[in-house]
Chain A
Amino acid sequence: MNYWKEFSKGLLSDNPVLVMLLGMCSVLAVSTSVINALGMGFAATFVLVMANIVISSIRKIVPSNIRIPVYIVVIAGFVTIIELIMKAYVPDLYTSLGIFIPLIVVNCIILGRAEAFASKNGIIASLFDGLGMGLGYTIALCALAFFREVIGAGKLMGISLFGANFQPALIMILPPGAFITLGCMLAFLNKMQEKKAS
C-alpha cells in the first residue's frame, strides 16, 4: 500500500527529529512536560498536514522562482489559525508554549516537507506524508518530555509518581537537561541501529 509507506516513513525510518535532526529548537524548548509536548505536537501536525495539502494543490500554478515566499505565506496563515484557536480554547497551554507557537512558521520540518515532498506529489500522498511526519515529531517530542518530566519533576502528565520523599533532579527540567537527554537518546538509537546492522 503506497499511502501507508508515505505515512509510516515519518514515524521511524525518516523521523524528522531523531533521524533528520530538523526542528530541534521547539523540541528542546517545549519538552519540559508531556502535556506541553502533546500540545505542541498537535499544533505542528495540524500546520504540517494543512500546509502540505494546500501546497500540493497549488504546486502546478506557482512559478518556481517565487515558491519559497509563497510556501512561507501559506504556512504562516495556518500557524495564525492554530494560534488563534489555541488562544481561545486552551489558554493555559497557549501561555506555557508561548513564543514557540508563532515560531512554528520557521520550523524547518514544515518548509522542508513542503519543498521536498508536497511540491512534487499529489494531494492524498502529501496529506499522509504530513500526518506521518507530524506524528513522528510528536512521538520524539513526547519521548524526550517523558524522560525530562519523570526524572526532573517526578511527575507524569502532572500526576506525582514517586511520593513526597522523591528528590527530583532539577537539572533535567532546566535547559541543560534537554540537550543532554536528547544527546543520550540519539546515542541510544545509534546503538540500536548498530545492533540491527551486525
Chain B
Amino acid sequence: MTKLLIIIVSAIFVNNIVVTQFLGVCPFLGVSKKVESAIGMGAAVTFVLGLASAISWLVQKYILNQFEIGYLQTITFILVIAALVQFVEMVVRKFSPSLYNALGVYLPLITTNCVVLGVAIININENYSIIEAFTNGVANALGFTLALVLFAGIRERLDFANVPKVFKGIPIALVTAGLMSIAFMGFAGLM
C-alpha cells in the first residue's frame, strides 16, 4: 500500500511526466490553449494510459518474456497502443456518444503521444507488478492532466499580457513552462 502511495505522489508531483521528464510536450504545447480542451485531452489520456499500462504489462509477461523476444518490445507496444486507441474509439462511439463527442477529437492524437509508450516502457523497466503498473499509468496520466490544465489556465491569461513581440506565441509559452517546471521542482523535497 505504501509503495502504491509513493508511486502516485511521485508520478503526479515529484517526477511530473511533462515538466520534469519531458514526455508529452507536443500535446502540452499544442492542446493547451483552452482549459476545456486541456481537460478533454487529459481525460482521454487517463483512460487510454490506464488500459495501455495493464495490457502492455500482460503482453510483456505472457508473450515477450514467454517466447524470449524482448527485443520486439518497441514494435509490439506501439502496435498494442495503436490498436487499443482504435478499439477505445469504437467502443466509446458505440456506447456513449456524449463521451465520444467530448473525447473524440483527442483520441487519434494519443497514438503518437509519447506519454503512453513511455510509461508502458518505464513500467517494464521498473519491474512493477500489474497493480503497480496500472497505478503508475493512471497516476502519470493524472500528472499530465494536472500540468496541462494548469498550463492552459496560464496561457489563457497570457493572451492578454503585454509580452515583447519576438516572444509572442510559443517562445513565451516555453519560458512559462520553464517557470512551471521550477515550481514543480519544489515537490522534490517531498520524497
Contact = CB atoms under 8 A, between A and B. Distances in A.
A73 B71 CA distance: 14
Contacts of A28: 22, 25
Interface in A56-83: 69, 72-73, 76-77, 79-80, 83
Interface residues of A, number: 42
- Most chain-A CB neighbours within 10 Å: which of B71, B78, B111? B78
B175 A106 contact: no
Contacts of B189: none
B74 A80 contact: yes
Interface in A105-120: 105-108, 111
Interface stretch (A2-10, A132-140, A158-166, A169-177): A169-177
A50 interface: no
Contact of A99 (B79, B122, B166): B122
B113 interface: yes
A72 B79 CA distance: 8
A186 B165 CA distance: 12
A51 to B, nearest CB: 13
A157 interface: no
Majority secondary structure of chain B interface residues (helix, strand, loop or mixed): helix
A116 B26 CA distance: 18
Contacts of A69: 79, 82
Given A24-B29, A76-B74, A103 B174 contact: no
A121 to B, nearest CB: 22
Contacts of A102: 73-74, 117, 121
A183 B82 contact: no
A29 B25 CA distance: 10
Majority secondary structure of chain A interface residues (helix, strand, loop or mixed): helix
B173 A183 contact: yes
Interface string B11-31: 000000001111111100100
Contacts of B118: 99, 103
B174 A80 contact: no
B75 A77 contact: yes
B186 to A, nearest CB: 11
Contacts of B122: 99
Nearest to B75: A76
Interface stretch (A37-45, A123-131, A187-195): A187-195
Interface stretch (B47-55, B95-103, B138-146, B176-184): B176-184
A26 B112 CA distance: 13
7 contacts: A21-B29, A25-B22, A76-B75, A175-B185, A180-B179, A182-B174, A187-B164
Interface of B: 19-26, 29, 71-75, 78-79, 82, 111-114, 117-118, 121-122, 125, 164-167, 170-175, 177-179, 181-182, 185
Interface of A: 21-26, 28-29, 69, 72-73, 76-77, 79-80, 83-84, 99, 102-103, 105-108, 111, 171, 174-180, 182-184, 186-188, 190-191, 194
